[in-house]
C-alpha cells in the first residue's frame, strides 16, 4: 500500500520523505489555509520534493470554472493530480481532465455508487473518507471493502485512496482490505511505529544495559 501524507507543511513532508514514507502528497483548501501560504507557491515546492502524485484541489463549484482551475493547477508540475469533489460538476471536470491526460483525484466520496461513477468518469484516484463515516456511526472500512470488490469485479484502474484516516488501526485496516493508497496526517503515520510492548521491552533492555555497564561507543 502506498503512503500519501496529508499536509501542506513542507518540513513534515521532508522528514517523512527522507525515510521513504512518502509516495505522494494530498492537500486541500483547509490544509493550504493552515499553512498560511499561496496555493500555487506551496504546491510547486511540494512537487519539487516528491516524485509521486501531489493532489491540488480546485475551489470552484461549477464545471467550467473547475476545469479552468484544474488546467491551471496541472501546469504547476507533471506530477499534479487535480482534486475535484464528488459532485456532478466534479465528475464532468474529472472526465475532461482525464481525457487530456491529467491525473484526477475525486474526493469526498461516501458511497460505493459514488466511487463507481468516479471510475466511469476516468478518475485516477477515488478518495473515500473513512473517519467522517465513522463519526456518524457508519463503518468507513466497509466502504473501502465495497469499492475494492466493485473495482475488482470490472477491472477498473482507478486507485482507491483511503482518506480521512484518524488512527494507525485505520492504516492497517486499509492495507488488509487492499486499498491502493492511504493518505494520513504525519502524526498518524508516525504513530504506526508505537506499541506499548515495544516501549516495555525497550525499557527492560535499557535497565539491563545500565546495570551491566554495556557500552558500544
Active site residues: 83
Distance separating alpha carbons of residues 19 and 30, to the nearest angstrom: 26
Alpha carbon 40 to chain centroid, angstroms: 19
Distance separating alpha carbons of residues 209 and 217, to the nearest angstrom: 13
What's the sign of the alpha-carbon dihedral 98, 103, 108, 112?
positive
CA distances from 116 to 125, 147, 211 (A): 12, 8, 61
Amino acid at each position: 500500500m502506498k503512503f500519501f501524507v496529508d499536509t501542506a507543511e513542507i518540513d513534515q513532508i521532508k522528514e517523512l520523505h527522507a525515510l521513504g514514507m512518502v509516495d505522494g502528497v494530498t492537500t486541500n483548501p483547509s490544509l493550504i489555509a493552515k499553512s498560511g501560504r499561496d496555493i500555487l507557491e506551496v504546491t510547486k515546492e511540494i512537487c519539487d520534493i516528491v516524485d509521486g502524485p501531489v493532489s491540488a484541489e480546485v475551489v470552484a463549484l461549477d464545471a467550467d470554472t473547475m476545469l479552468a482551475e484544474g488546467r491551471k493547477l496541472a501546469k504547476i508540475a507533471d506530477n499534479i493530480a487535480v482534486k475535484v469533489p464528488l459532485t456532478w460538476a466534479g465528475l464532468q471536470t474529472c472526465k475532461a481532465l482525464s481525457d487530456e491526460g491529467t491525473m484526477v483525484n475525486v474526493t469526498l466520496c461516501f458511497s460505493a455508487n459514488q466511487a463507481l461513477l468516479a471510475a466511469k468518469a476516468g478518475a485516477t484516484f477515488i478518495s473515500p473518507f473513512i473517519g467522517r463515516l465513522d463519526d456518524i456511526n457508519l463503518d468507513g472500512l466497509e466502504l473501502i471493502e465495497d469499492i475494492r470488490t466493485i473495482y475488482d469485479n470490472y477491472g477498473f484502474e482507478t486507485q482507491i485512496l483511503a482518506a480521512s484516516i484518524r488512527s494507525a488501526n485505520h492504516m492497517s485496516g486499509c492495507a488488509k482490505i487492499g486499498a491502493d493508497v492511504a493518505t494520513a496526517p504525519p502524526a498518524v503515520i508516525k504513530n504506526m511505529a508505537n506499541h506499548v510492548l515495544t516501549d516495555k521491552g525497550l525499557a527492560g533492555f535499557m535497565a539491563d544495559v545500565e546495570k551491566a555497564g554495556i557500552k558500544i561507543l
